[in-house]
Amino acid sequence: MPQRDLFGGLPGDPGETLPGPRGWDEVISAGKEAQLIARIAGCDFRPLRFQGWLGKRLTCSFGWSYDFDHGEFQRRCNCRTAGN
C-alpha cells in the first residue's frame, strides 16, 4: 500500500492543497518590478528605535509611525521617493 504524503495525497497525486497564501510567477511585469526595486532602493532606511535601543532591523516610514521612545504616533515620512 502506498504511503500518503504529509499533505494527504498519494505520491504523484495532486490531491487537495492546504488553504492559505499561494505563490505564482509573473504577478507584475519585469518593468514594474524594476520600478518598485528602484523606489525601494531610494528609501532612507534607518535602524529601528525601541525604548532607547537601536535594532538591527532597518525600517522606513511612509506616513505615520509609532515612536517607541515617546510612546506616541508621529506623522513622518523618511522615504525620499514617497511623493513620486
pLDDT digits (tens, 9 = 90+) for 68-78: 777 888 776 66
Q: pTM for this one?
A: 0.47
Distance of CA 83 to the CA centre of its chain: 20
Percent of the chain with pLDDT over 90: 11
In angstroms, rounded to a whole number, what is the distance separating the alpha carbons of residues 67 and 7? Answer: 43
Q: Where are the beta strands (DSSP E) in the chain?
A: 46-50, 53-59, 62-67, 72-77
